[in-house]
Amino acid sequence: MTEYLVPYESAESEFEEKRSRFISHVFLVESEAEARARIDEMKKKYYDARHNCWCFVLHDGTVRYGDDGEPQGTAGQPMLNVFQRENVENVVCIVTRYFGGILLGAGGLTRAYAKAAKDALDAAGKARMQPFSVLLLECPYPMFERIKLLIEGHEGRIESSDYGAAVTLTFLLPVQKVADFSAVLTELSGGQMSAEEVEQRLLPGYAAVGVGREDGAEAGEFSAVFYRRDRFTPLESGTFWLSETPDVAGSKGWDGACERVATWVVLHDREGGREFLFVNTHLDHVGQVARDEGVNLLRERIEALRGDRPVILTGDFNSEPGSSVVAHVQKDGVLHDVKQVAARKSGTEWSFSDFGQILEAERPLLDYIFVSDGIAADLYEVLPDTLGGGYVSDHAPVMAIVKFEK
């Protein structure tokens, strides 16, 4: 797989031509289903417009466009030409036109739709996608600094270093650099060292949304939401902080001991064509005010984001079932504890063991799955918190099998 360009981010642009209003959107997509979901989303948003023309280009070679009632060849094709000329892939562009009463002619339409696509692409920017290999290398300590320089010299990046009898490095290299790196490594080590390419083993087929709570990027705990790429298309997503300034990255709220976030995503289910809002969070373990106000903020944001969609809310609420916090989440009957409404239940009554330090009879339930009307729960289960004789976490996983109500 060679390098290719994609939109750096989603973007919108707008201009007016002879009283016609042109609104263009560009999105990064990775499948035809995801592209068509974005097209449908814009058609619903601009349902009252005369035309919603579109095009998309995928890295696998798929190319499609639509004129949506404009004269053939005057809308989708000139939009598509922009992305092909710029060598941008995995992109969908939708240009909405509100007709202003003055005909533009074929030439005018072609120029207007091309401009709309180019303006949106310029606003989005371009990013270069470069395939990387994940490699594993056991390195003697005397060679450590030289190997680091060798990796850096091949445009690589060290992901982790484990220090034992030798240093075990996990690192990334551009695919096209692997062969040369291996040849130089063999020569440098006299044939005593070789890097092993590592297969992807963790959650293959899944993607995630979410950011680090400390800086809104990579630092600190994530309250990420993972979803199956082959079934769900993310339509919107974001993060807010559980604080008095929820849109300020890294902000700490009320009497909380830590920064706390909620990650949300609107997912389109390609199997049934329906949408839902998923929110994942982690309330503070110290501040009661922070937990109470955090729930107030969660309820406000969920109400603002959901529209007419059903909702799934999950997380570590650091509160037991009889607490005011759990009661407040379910106030007004909008959200329901899956444990209470599931058709079947299994597993323990607790979810927090502190790596087995708490006596089983005293372990609390702190983790919850809440659903709104429109979501039915077939099964609720607390899974074991140990695997292979060791603890996977200080919490046990809580899971549910849910489905859309008919």
Arithmetic mean of pLDDT over the chain: 91
Mean pLDDT over 189-211 rounds to: 75
User: How many C-beta atoms lie closer than 10 Å to residue 75's C-beta?
Assistant: 29
**pLDDT tier at 291 (50, 70, 90 boundaries)?**
very high
Q: What is the pLDDT of residue 200?
A: 42
Say whether both 275 and 391 belong to one domain: yes
**pLDDT tier at 2 (50, 70, 90 boundaries)?**
low
| Helices 105-124 & 76-85 angle (0-180, nearest 10) | 40
Say whether both 240 and 191 belong to one domain: no
Q: What is the CATH number of the domain that holds 244?
A: 3.60.10.10
Print burial letters for 130-157: b (CB count within 10 Å at least 16), e (below 16).
eeebebebebeeebeeebbebbeebebe
Lowest mean pLDDT among 102-111, 205-214, 386-395: 386-395
Judged against a pLDDT cut of 90, whether residue 208 lies above it is answered with: no
In percent, the amount of the chain with pLDDT more than 70 equals 97
Q: Which of 180, 197, 214 is the last residue of a domain?
A: 197
User: How many C-beta atoms lie closer than 10 Å to residue 205's C-beta?
Assistant: 10
Say whether both 29 and 159 belong to one domain: no
In percent, the amount of the chain with pLDDT more than 90 equals 70
Q: What is the pLDDT of residue 69?
A: 94
Judged against a pLDDT cut of 80, whether residue 1 lies above it is answered with: no
Judged against a pLDDT cut of 90, whether residue 146 lies above it is answered with: yes
Query: pTM of the entire structure?
Result: 0.55
Digit-coded pLDDT (tens) for 31-51: 888 889 899 999 999 999 999
Q: What is the pLDDT of residue 155?
A: 86
Q: What is the CATH number of the domain that holds 174?
A: 3.30.70.240
Q: What is the pLDDT of residue 348?
A: 94
Residue with tokens 């922009």: 82
Residue 341 buriedness (CB in 10 A; 0-12 / 13-18 / 19+)? middle
User: Taking a C-beta distance cutoff of 8 angstroms, is the pair 54, 65 a contact?
Assistant: yes
CA distance linking residue 286 with residue 62, whole number of Å:
52
Mean pLDDT over 313-332 rounds to: 96
Q: Which of 128, 151, 176 is the last residue of a domain?
A: 128
Q: What is the pLDDT of residue 385?
A: 81
What values do phi and psi take at 167, rounded to 5?
Answer: -95, 120
Q: What is the pLDDT of residue 148?
A: 93
| Helices 178-188 & 144-153 angle (0-180, nearest 10) | 150
Judged against a pLDDT cut of 80, whether residue 54 lies above it is answered with: yes
Say whether both 215 and 299 belong to one domain: yes
**pLDDT tier at 8 (50, 70, 90 boundaries)?**
confident
Residue type, 293: E
**pLDDT tier at 201 (50, 70, 90 boundaries)?**
very low
Lowest mean pLDDT among 138-142, 198-202, 246-250, 372-376: 198-202
Say whether both 124 and 186 belong to one domain: no
Mean pLDDT over 288-292 rounds to: 96
Q: What is the CATH number of the domain that holds 23?
A: 3.30.230.30
Our measurement of the distance from residue 248's CA atom to the centroid of its chain's CA atoms, rounded to an integer in Å, reads 19
Element (H, E) at 36: helix 32-45
Say whether both 13 and 160 belong to one domain: no
Lowest mean pLDDT among 95-99, 105-109, 387-391: 387-391
Mean pLDDT over 154-158 rounds to: 87
Judged against a pLDDT cut of 50, whether residue 273 lies above it is answered with: yes
Say whether both 399 and 280 belong to one domain: yes
Say whether both 118 and 141 belong to one domain: no
CA distance linking residue 98 with residue 287, whole number of Å:
51
Report which of 277, 263, 282 is spatially closest to residue 366, judged by C-alpha positions. 282
Judged against a pLDDT cut of 90, whether residue 153 lies above it is answered with: yes
Say whether both 121 and 234 belong to one domain: no
Say whether both 304 and 167 belong to one domain: no
Number of domains in the chain: 3
Q: Which of 78, 94, 128 is the last residue of a domain?
A: 128
DSSP codes joined into one string, 168-185: EEEEEEEGGGHHHHHHHH
Judged against a pLDDT cut of 70, whether residue 202 lies above it is answered with: no
Say whether both 114 and 135 belong to one domain: no
Say whether both 368 and 286 belong to one domain: yes
The whole domain housing 35 covers 4-128
